[in-house]
Amino acid sequence: MCHIVYTALLRLAAPALLARLVRRARANAVPVARWREWLGAGESLTPGSIWVHAASVGEVEAAVPLARALCSRYPERALLMTTTTPEGAARVEAALGSDVQHAYLPLDLPGAVRRFLRRTRPAVALIVETELWPNLYRACEQAGVPLWVVSARLSPRSLKRYRRLQPLVRETLARAEKVLAQDESAARGFRELGAPNARVQVMGNLKFDRALPPGHEEAGGLRVSVAPERAPVWVAVSTREGEEEAVLEAHLVVRESHPDAVLLWVPRHRDRFDVAFAAARAAGLSVGRRTQCPGPPLDVLVGDTIGEIGAYLGAADAAFVGGSLVPLGGQNVLEPAALGLPVLVGPSTEHFTFAVERLEDRGALWRVQDAESLGRAVAELLGDSECRKTMGDAARTVIDEGRGAVERVLAELENRLHDLR
């Protein structure tokens, strides 16, 4: 009954969902011929592929090391990557290029997912992180496609939301052949929601296995281009709506003790680039955009490019990770940690609880509560190179200790693919 109600409501919402996807497609110059993929239509793809689904940019970044390992381990099989968003598709193209085939995941409508499976005919489905789509999981089961959730995670907020839909979620998880959780907390959550105990295993977080974040090789050139020699630089990455005022206020606090400090400001979403630029200008700061290649002196550089997060992080002395001063659960703290940066976050970090706790326990991460404390913390770090080095070394150690999820997933997958030959 829950499944019927879910599908009926999704049918009613489908026009609005499609309209939103079309708006994003236009904004990202997605060819019109590909829009039909959100309804499951499109060209037939190589059958027998290993299919990896990564919803958007963050999930793609987690999936990239796994995808590369799969291409190397199984060169005889095609690798199909699906995303939900155009931004995710762009990241797949930048990171993996012609090594993979790409398609958009259709809306979770019965007809759309059946059409998708008929034209793709994958050997196995690997869903990265937390994407629980009842009709997709049902269609995979009916088509005989083994479906695994890999690097599976559950924030406390997600767990609370799924509890309200537990009959539907239990039915959906029962169709997953394996749930390979990031940590024991996530594994407990999936079992609580109804995943069969024997199918849930702890395999680790794929994001620990990532190489250095994209664009890191451009860091030196970026720093020289925007900051005078010896000027301290800090970066605010993946900031979300509602954090603009706090970031600017923090930067003004930093400049009280470091008047030549430069802020590299990288909003999470494209639609906040102009907002950030306008806010910095309204605050009376000298501001430029990365796409316009401005030169020093600058007070603020808005990072309005995709796929260069490593350049912004690598050019900085300390990093604040956004989505954490507003109640959105935080963003990926592992990227700055991988580059050996001291990491700062706000109070809302439930989407990355395990990584945040590991970094905090090792002294690689500080929590702040508001704009004022963020500014003071950044100023302290910019003035203490020894503290920055100690925190950065600890961050790299945490990353090194967390690696191994890709190899564990590959080991599990080896036996399953052998059975499918």
Note if the bond before 214 is cis, omega within 30 degrees.
Answer: no
Render pLDDT for 76-118 as a digit per residue (tens, 0 to 9). Answer: 999 999 999 998 999 999 999 999 999 999 999 999 999 999 9
Cα–Cα distance measured from residue 16 to residue 349, given in angstroms and rounded to the nearest whole number: 30
Give the torsion sign (CA, 386, 401, 200, 137).
Answer: positive
Domains of the chain in sequence order: 25-204+404-420 (3.40.50.11720), 216-402 (3.40.50.2000)
- What pLDDT was estimated at residue 157? 85
The percent of residues above 70 in pLDDT, for the chain, comes to 99
- What pLDDT was estimated at residue 347? 98
**Strands, sheet with 318-321, edge to edge from the N-terminal-most edge strand:** 287-289, 300-302, 262-267, 233-239, 318-321, 343-345, 365-367
CB-based contact 300:290 (threshold 8 Å): no
Task: Tell me the mean pLDDT in the region 147-170.
Answer: 93
- What pLDDT was estimated at residue 306? 82
CA-based nearest residue to 297, from 219, 233, 381: 233
- Out of 98-112, 151-165, 384-398, pick the least confident: 151-165
Q: What is the pTM of this model?
A: 0.86
- What pLDDT was estimated at residue 307? 82
Residue of 59, 61, 244, 350 marked catalytic: 59
- What pLDDT was estimated at residue 420? 65
CA distances 239 to 13, 61, 114, 244, 247, Å, are 29, 17, 37, 7, 8
- Out of 59-63, 176-180, 225-229, 239-243, pick the least confident: 225-229
- What pLDDT was estimated at residue 113? 97
SS3 141: helix
Query: Which residues is 51 bridged to in the sheet?
Result: 80, 125
Read off φ and ψ for residue 132, nearest 5 degrees.
-105, 100
Residue type, 335: E
Predicted confidence (pLDDT) at residue 296 exceeds the cutoff of 80:
no
CA-based nearest residue to 351, from 190, 158, 173, 204: 158
Task: Tell me the mean pLDDT in the region 368-383.
Answer: 98
Render pLDDT for 44-64 as a digit per residue (tens, 0 to 9). Answer: 899 999 999 999 888 999 999
**Residue 228 pLDDT grade (very low, low, confident, very high; cuts 50, 70, 90):** confident
CB-based contact 129:181 (threshold 8 Å): no
* Mean confidence (pLDDT) of the chain: 94
59 is catalytic: yes
- What pLDDT was estimated at residue 58? 86
Cα–Cα distance measured from residue 223 to residue 96, given in angstroms and rounded to the nearest whole number: 27
Predicted confidence (pLDDT) at residue 134 exceeds the cutoff of 70:
yes
Task: Tell me the mean pLDDT in the region 306-310.
Answer: 88
CB-based contact 38:104 (threshold 8 Å): yes
Cα–Cα distance measured from residue 390 to residue 207, given in angstroms and rounded to the nearest whole number: 23
Residue type, 126: L
Cα–Cα distance measured from residue 129 to residue 205, given in angstroms and rounded to the nearest whole number: 9
- What pLDDT was estimated at residue 421? 60
Task: Tell me the mean pLDDT in the region 25-45.
Answer: 92
Cα–Cα distance measured from residue 51 to residue 40, given in angstroms and rounded to the nearest whole number: 15
Task: Tell me the mean pLDDT in the region 241-264.
Answer: 97
- Out of 25-34, 120-129, 375-384, pick the least confident: 25-34
CA-based nearest residue to 73, from 411, 416, 402, 421: 411
Task: Tell me the mean pLDDT in the region 263-280.
Answer: 94
